[in-house]
Every structure is written in C-alpha cells, then in structure tokens.
Amino acid sequence: MTVNQRHREDMGDMEKLMVRGGRPLRGTVTISGAKNSAVALLPASILADGEVRLDNLPRLSDVAVYTEILEELGARVKRIGDSMIIDPTRMRPVPMPNGKVKLLRASYYLMGALLGRFGEAVIGLPGGCNFEPRPIDQHIKGFEALGATVTNEHGAIRLSAKKLRGAKIYLDVVSVGATINIMLAASRAEGLTIIENAAKEPEIIDVATLLNAMGARIKGAGTETIRIEGVDRLHGCRHSIIPDRIQAATYMIAAAATRGDVIVDNVIPKHLEAVTAKLQEMGVHVYEMDESIRVVGQPVYSAVDVKALVYPGFATDMQSPMTSLLTQAEGVSILTDYVYSNRFKHVPELVRMGAKIRVEGRSAIIEGSKLNSAKVRASDLRAGAALVVAALTVEEGVTEIAGVEYIDRGYDNLVDNLRRLGADVWREPEAG
C-alpha cells in the first residue's frame, strides 16, 4: 500500500472485499517477508551509524507508517522494489507523543531503539490490533533495570538515561515485544544483559541476526535465555527478512478449507510445524519441502482441539483463521487461546455466516456446519483473515467483507494472490 492509499483510507474512502466462494484454491503462492519482523527491524536500524539495507520487506500499511515515522525522526529512507535502504545518521530523538505512532501497535519498539541510541525518547502509546490491553509493564521493567527513568505523561511514555548499564532481567510473562525492546536497548548498554524467560519466536532470532550483523554481541536468541554484551557502536549492514509464517499459515488453512491443492512457497517449514501438525490431525494432506509446503485438501475433516500458545505452540495469530477451517470439520472442535483471552471478535461475524460457534471464557466451541454468504466486518487483522477463509468456502452468493484496511496491515497482494489461485475475489468502494 502506498502512503497515498493510506491517506485515502484515513479520509474514509474505505473499500470492501467481495468474495464469491466455492472454488478450490489451486496453484502456487509466494510468501513475502514477515510483518512481525519488519516492524521490529525498521526501528532496530536506528541503532546503526551507517546505512542499513533490509531485503524481502513486505508492502504493508504498517511498514508504510513506520517509514514515515523514521523520516519524521530525520532518517533518509529509500525503497527499491522489495528492499529498503535506511540512513539513520542524521536522526534526532524528536518527541512523538501523538500522530503516526498512535496508528501502529509496534511503535513501542521505538522506545528501545531511541533509548539505545540517544538515551532518551518520548513515545505516545500505540493503537493497532484490537485485543485486550497490552500492558507494556515488562518493557518498562526492562528499561528501568538497564538504568532508564520511565514516566507516563498524558498517555505518552518518557524515557531517559544518562547511561545504560547491563542487568539481569526476568520477564514475568513471555513477551515478544518486551524481549525485542530490551534487546534493542541492551545492545548499546555497558556490560552484560541477560534476559530470562525470553520469548522464542522466529522474529526474535531475526532481530538478533540483524543486530549481530550490525556488530552487536547477542547469544541465545530463540531460547529462553538471551545474553547481550553491550557495544559502543553499531554499523550499517544488509539483512534479508524471514518469510511471514502467519501469512503462510493463512494460505495453508485457506487451501485446506476450500479443499484445494496449493504450494506455499518461500517459507521456513520449521516455523509452521504447529499448523502443519494440526492440519494433518484433521486429515489434510501436507507435504514439506525445503522452502515450501504443499497442502492438499480432502473431502472430509475430523474435529480437533487447538490450543493457541506462545511459540513453538500454535500461534494466537492463527487461531482466528483456524476457527473458520474448523467449521468445515465433522463434529465439535474446541479452540482455546492461552495467549489472549478475548481474541474472539471474529466469532459473531462467522455466526452471521451460519457458523455454529459459542464462546466460553478462553475457548470457542465450534460445531461443523456449512456457511452461507453474508455482509460481515473485520474488526482486526486476523479476524479479517478468518472472514476471508470462511467466505472462500461458501458455495452460493457473494460475501461482503468490510474493514479491509485491517487486512492490508498484514497481507500484501491478498486479492492478486487469491486470484492467481483461482478464487473469485475483488474490491469495491464501501458506500459511505
């Protein structure tokens, strides 16, 4: 999405996605770079004293917003195809209590990056996906342990530190955001920082790989203990972003739901093991290759229980699309989200499409049933993906999905990709 498109959306010229389902998806889809990596790697580039080139960068609205934020802070940013060159040499720690930072949940990574480079930052608390308060207390605890003073000023967080010093930090809850944020700040602190009970997601390894390529000394990323030896300076480098495992899993689920036959290309199969295992348990045929996965749908699926957990468990970001697939299984499935308790905003919309689902606490109880077309609205990114998967299974009529701007935050080229796989989907302006 271009910045202009974004502004157009901000002005209220919204689009809706139209889906005429009932066609099995067939063919190959190529997965772009990971959104959840990109939104951490862009602020990480602030820490360098030279140009950072990021390859395999996805074209998403979140990336476009981040680019604008970096430019507001004084970076020079140039986009060339799927790459971006960031020159952070002239950046300044400009206070950002409002504006673009509010549009973006992941803008909190600016805290760690600006603190690491300048010893100060003022960042407005972000917006983004709509699922329960995301406390940033673990981030703050980490920054304070490194020697920063943190105050809340009218909804903006002010950070300052004369000097950052390494510390041992135990995270009370496993948090990807806090792990990355502390890693960013600690890479420029004096001495050794140890993060215990760190998150293990592939995106953390990706950020550590970039920082190490810039001259940082980080060991243990991807395990529960990360050791960071602080360095005086970080230099520019070139880094290729890992493929987006959530995007890949969405296409795998869509292939299964439509009983199609799809090769999902440019993926790291290991990152998708939890999804692959669940699909196989349902009766979907899944074949792993070196950098791709083939999903072959079957006529009948068995009900399964799914538990969304932190990595390497089944990703919470996948539970919404998975709900849609489970409507296609025979019998009753139970999907429980142990990461976010109220991430079921998609359920009322699926019910409008004829799904038999009831929510009890952290669980959705899903009885297999045929879905029908309806007018529905995405309330966040992954809810949007769930509605697309559901709509693709409907054999008669056209499903209208409003709130496409949420889907654009995490899926680039969704319409084109689905069309190439034989789906009948298009966009229309939403009547105001």
Tell me the two tokens of residue 216: 């940082």
The pLDDT of residue 432 is 66
The pLDDT of residue 127 is 54
Distance from C-alpha of 258 to C-alpha of 391, rounded to nearest angstrom: 10
- Tens digit of each residue's pLDDT, the chain (432 residues): 444 444 334 434 689 999 999 999 999 999 999 999 999 999 999 999 999 999 999 999 999 999 999 999 999 999 999 999 999 999 999 999 988 998 888 899 999 999 999 999 999 986 544 444 567 899 999 999 999 999 988 878 999 999 999 999 999 999 999 999 999 999 999 999 999 999 999 999 999 999 999 999 999 999 999 999 999 999 999 999 999 999 999 999 999 999 999 999 999 999 999 999 999 999 999 999 999 999 999 999 999 999 999 999 999 999 999 999 999 999 999 999 999 888 999 999 999 999 999 999 999 999 999 999 999 999 999 999 999 999 999 999 999 999 999 999 999 999 999 999 999 999 999 886
Of the candidates 69, 86, 113, 129, the residue annotated as catalytic is 129
The pLDDT of residue 5 is 45
Tell me the two tokens of residue 149: 């003073």
Q: Is 344 helix (H, G, I), strand (E, B) or coil?
A: coil
Q: Is 314 helix (H, G, I), strand (E, B) or coil?
A: strand
Q: Is 296 helix (H, G, I), strand (E, B) or coil?
A: strand
The pLDDT of residue 259 is 98
Tell me the two tokens of residue 355: 């799904």
The pLDDT of residue 102 is 86
Query: Would you say the CATH fold of 35-240 matches that of 3-32+243-429?
Result: yes
Beta-bridged to residue 150, according to DSSP, are 159
- Interacting residues of 74 by C-beta distance below 8 A, sequence separation 6+: 90, 91, 92, 94
The pLDDT of residue 2 is 44
The pLDDT of residue 342 is 82
The pLDDT of residue 425 is 98
CB atoms < 10 A from the CB of 309, how many? 16
Nearest residue to 128 (alpha-carbon basis) of 73, 66, 209: 66
Q: pTM to 2 decimals? A: 0.93
Distance from C-alpha of 124 to C-alpha of 196, rounded to nearest angstrom: 28
Nearest residue to 308 (alpha-carbon basis) of 273, 337, 277, 341: 337
Tell me the two tokens of residue 244: 């987006």
Nearest residue to 79 (alpha-carbon basis) of 50, 70, 108: 70
CB 258 within 8 A of CB 393: yes
Count CA atoms within 13 Å of residue 192 on its CB side: 7
Q: Computed over its alpha carbons, how large is the radius of gyration of the chain? A: 21
- State the Cα torsion 324-328-330-335 to the nearest 10°: -10
The pLDDT of residue 4 is 42
Distance of CA 162 to the CA centre of its chain: 33
The pLDDT of residue 105 is 83
Please give the C-alpha separations between residue 180 and each of 51, 203, 392, 428, in angstroms, as whole numbers: 21, 9, 36, 38
The pLDDT of residue 155 is 79
The pLDDT of residue 87 is 98
The pLDDT of residue 135 is 76
- Domain boundaries, given as residue ranges, for the chain: 3-32+243-429, 35-240
Structurally, at CATH architecture level, domain 35-240 sits in Alpha-beta prism (3.65)
Confirm whether 129 is a catalytic residue. yes
Q: What share of the chain is helix, strand, coil (3-state, %, to 5)?
A: 35, 30, 35
Provide the terminal-to-terminal Cα distance of the chain, rounded to the nearest Å: 21
What CATH topology corresponds to 3-32+243-429?
UDP-n-acetylglucosamine1-carboxyvinyl-transferase; Chain (3.65.10)
